Structure 1
Amino acid sequence: MLNFDKALDLPPQLQWKYANEPELMTWSIRARNYNTFVANLMFSFMATVILGATLIMYSVYEGMSQSWRISSCIFFFSLMLLVLLSVTHQRMNFVYRFTQSGVEYCKWKDFPKWALTFLKWFTGITAVIFIFLATLDSTFLIGALIGPGGMGLMYLSMANSKSFQEMHTEYHHHTFKWEELTQLAIATNREVVDLKYSITLKGNDYKTNWSLNVFCERKQKEAVANVIRPYLSPGVPFIKAKVNVPMSTD
C-alpha cells in the first residue's frame, strides 16, 4: 500500500464503498479542478477593474493628507484582491483510494464559516476606524461607504443567501471498476493522471464515455500510473499527453 500523506478525514456525508477492502494506494490533495487558464484570465481582468476603482478612489480623496490617501487606497485594493482570489482560485478537497475493485474517490467543498466571522469583525473594526477619521476629515465618509459599507453588504449577502452557501458547498463520491477504464494518460500540462472510462449510467441503455482527472503532486504522477497500469484490461493505451481539465459538472 502506498500512502503519499495522511488522508483527510471524510465528512459524515461521504463514506467509502469498498471500505472493507485493503488499499493499494491512498492520498488526499486540495486542487483547482477547473480550467486554470480561464480562471487566471478572469483574475487578471477583474484585478485591472479593481485597480481602476482604486485610482478613482485616490482621485476622490484629493483633499486628505497624502499618507492617509495612499494607505486607504492600498488597503482597499489589497482587500478586494483577496476577495477576488477567493473566488477565482478556489480549491476542492479530494481523497483517492485504490483497491482490488477499482478507483474510488471522494471530493467535497464546505462553505467557509470562518470567512463570515472574519468579514463581520473586519467590517466592524474598519467602520469604526473610518468614522473616527471622518471626524478629522469629512472625505473619509466616502471611504466608509466604499470600504466598510461594501464589505457589510457582502457579509449580509453571504450570511443570508442559502443559494450562495449551497453554491459553495459540495459533496461527491465516485467509483470506477478497473474494467471500465479505456485509457491511462500522464498529463504533461497539469499535475493530473487522466483516466478515460466507458460506463452505463443508471437508467440508460447506452455507454457514456468521459474522463476522470486524478489530481496529484508532480512527483506522484508516475507512481499513480504504475499502480493503475497492471489492473487495466489488455490493450488499454498508456500514454503521455496534454490533458484538458474542464469545469466539474457534478
Structure 2
Amino acid sequence: SLPVTTAPSPPAGQEFTGTYRCLSFSPALGAFTDKGCSFSSASATHVTCACTHATYYVAERSYSPVAAPPVEYSTPTVALAVESDAVGGDGASHVGYAFIRMTSSSGGEVAYSTDGSVPSCASGETLASGTSLTLTASAEVQAVACPDGQAVASVSVSVQEGSHVDVTVSLESDLPASELGAPLRAAIGAVLGIDERRIVVLAASRRRAALTVSLRVLARDASEAADLKVRVAGAMEGLQAALGSAAT
C-alpha cells in the first residue's frame, strides 16, 4: 500500500482516469517496470498494488485523452413573413400580389413550393435567405432550409386577382440577360417609386449589344394599372437612362 501524494497537473490534453500503474524496481534493468505488479485499488490516501516480489514500488497515475465535447447540431429553420397590402384582418388576404420573405436561420438557401408539397433542396425552386417570393395568386407555401431540408415552414396566402402593366424596354449591355433581373427591377422601382418586388422580368432577348427586356408591373386593380401606365409613359426617358446605368 503506497501513500497518495499531491497530484501533479496532468499532461496537456489528458485527464486522470482514477486508476494507477503499479511499478517495481528491477535491479537487472536499473529502472522501474510493471512486470510482476498490478493495480488493485485506490482510496483518497493510499494506492494498493499486488506484486509478486519484494523491492521498491511506485504508483503512477494513469491518464487518458480528454474526450472531445459532443458536437451540438441545430437543425436550420425557416421563417416565412407575409408582406404586402393586407386587406383581411388576419393579414393573409391580399389584392393583386403578395410577398413572402424567406429567412433561414443558417443563412443558406431556402427551397420552396407553392402547391403545398414538401420542397426539395436537391430539385426544387430555391431563393437566397432574406429574399422574397412574389405571388400573384393564392398559394400554400412550404419552405425548408438547405442543405438540411428537415424543418418545414408553411403559410397559406390568399391573393385576389389584380391587374398589371406590361412594359418593353431596350438598352445596350454586355452583361448576360440572366444577371440583369435584380438591377433592372431596382432601377425601375426607383423611377416609378414602387416596391421593386412588384416588377417581374418576363423575357429578355439579345441582338449583339442590344438587349430587349419584357417586364410586368403588378397593380392592385385596373385603376392603379392605368395610373402606372401613364407614369411609365411619362418616365420612359428616365427609365431608359436608369436601365442603361443599371446594366453597365
The TM-score with structure 1 as length reference comes to: 0.24
Larger RCO: 1 or 2 (CA < 8 Å, sep 6+): 1
Higher share in helix: 1
Higher-strand-fraction structure: 2
